[in-house]
Amino acid sequence: MAENDGMRSLRPTLRVNGVPVWQELLSPQAQQEAVSAVLEVAETAPFVVPVTPSGRPMSVGMTSAGSVGWITDRGGYRYETRHPSGVLWPPIPEAILAIWRKASGVARPPSSCLINLYREGARMGLHQDKDEGDLTWPVVSVSLGDAALFRVGGTERKGRTESLWLNSGDVAVLSGETRLAYHGIDRIRAGSSSLVPGGGRINLTMRVVAGY
Ligand code: MD3
Ligand code: FE
């Protein structure tokens, strides 16, 4: 096959409010490799518990790889070229870039891979991803470890939402209409997977950020 058509030739196993999900797209071995790659990133750029602009700690641990990483603190939500410690974000590991190529079909690499760590009880409230400057590129999301109850609405906060349990190895692609959908994680099914050392769930979100 000369061209990468992403997964346009592979049907999503389901859609949740229009968001296509390829369930268990990653083999158990590919999942292991992705987790190992994340743990290497975290040696250089450790997970931090960010605070919202209002000063409230999030329940999710975060780090990033790539040219830029998404952060939040008292100064607001934004992309930065360095971890809060001052070190540059590590490059996105090849095993993770391979998932981007397969899922997005986009030739250029992502600017950023946000890595979210959900231990028991962690959640993420309903929000839009809109700090990227250019919203025409797809976003690729990869679930690893414990199952998570994912909620997706429309482009207005008040819209009707649909929920789906995301399992380890599931991949979702957000593009077009769904790129600005409200979404969040209501809860984690702790202990449902033994993939993540210490337990829990890791989510990778790869994005193109304007200028990077
Ligand atoms: C729908 N992460 O990091 S991934 C995030 O599981 C984030 O950690 C969640 O929301 C998580 O911003 C959900 C699925 C996802 C990711 C990005 C999206 C859904 C999206 C962007 C637009 C619409
Ligand atoms: Fe998001």
User: What's the pLDDT tens digit per position in 143-159?
Assistant: 999 999 999 999 999 99
147: closest CA among 162, 130, 128, 164? 164
Give the ligand whose atoms come closest to the C-alpha of residue 59: 1
pLDDT of residue 1: 43
Is 116 close to ligand 1, i.e. is its CB under 6 Å away?
Answer: yes
pLDDT of residue 146: 98
Asked if pLDDT for residue 4 goes beyond 90, the answer is: no
Residue nearest to atom 11 of ligand 1 (CA): 203
146 vs 120: CA distance, rounded Å = 9
148 vs 185: CA distance, rounded Å = 7
Query: Crossing angle of helices 94-104/28-44, nearest 10°?
Result: 130
43's enclosing H/E stretch is helix 28-44
Is 207 close to ligand 1, i.e. is its CB under 6 Å away?
Answer: no
- The preferred substitution site among 203, 204, 209 for testing ligand 1, maximizing ligand atoms within 8 Å of CB, is 203
Q: 159-187 pLDDT, tens per residue?
A: 999 999 999 999 999 999 999 999 999 99
Interior CA angle at 145 toward 181 and 132, to 5°? Answer: 30
Q: How far is the CA of 64 from the centre of ligand 2 (A)?
A: 14
37's enclosing H/E stretch is helix 28-44
Is 140 close to ligand 1, i.e. is its CB under 6 Å away?
Answer: no
- The preferred substitution site among 52, 72, 116, 118 for testing ligand 1, maximizing ligand atoms within 8 Å of CB, is 116
pLDDT of residue 8: 66
Domains detected in the chain: 19-207 (2.60.120.590)
Q: 100-118 pLDDT, tens per residue?
A: 999 999 999 999 999 999 9
For the residues 81-93, what does the mean pLDDT come to?
98
For the residues 49-62, what does the mean pLDDT come to?
97
21's enclosing H/E stretch is strand 19-22
176 vs 5: CA distance, rounded Å = 16
Asked if pLDDT for residue 2 goes beyond 50, the answer is: no
pLDDT of residue 7: 75
Q: How far is the CA of 94 from the centre of ligand 1 (A)?
A: 21
Asked if pLDDT for residue 80 goes beyond 80, the answer is: yes
51: closest CA among 68, 76, 82, 88? 76
Residue nearest to atom 6 of ligand 1 (CA): 203
Q: Please state the pTM of the whole predicted model.
A: 0.96
pLDDT of residue 204: 98
For the residues 125-133, what does the mean pLDDT come to?
97
Is 141 close to ligand 1, i.e. is its CB under 6 Å away?
Answer: yes
Q: To the nearest whole number, what is the mean pLDDT of the chain? A: 96
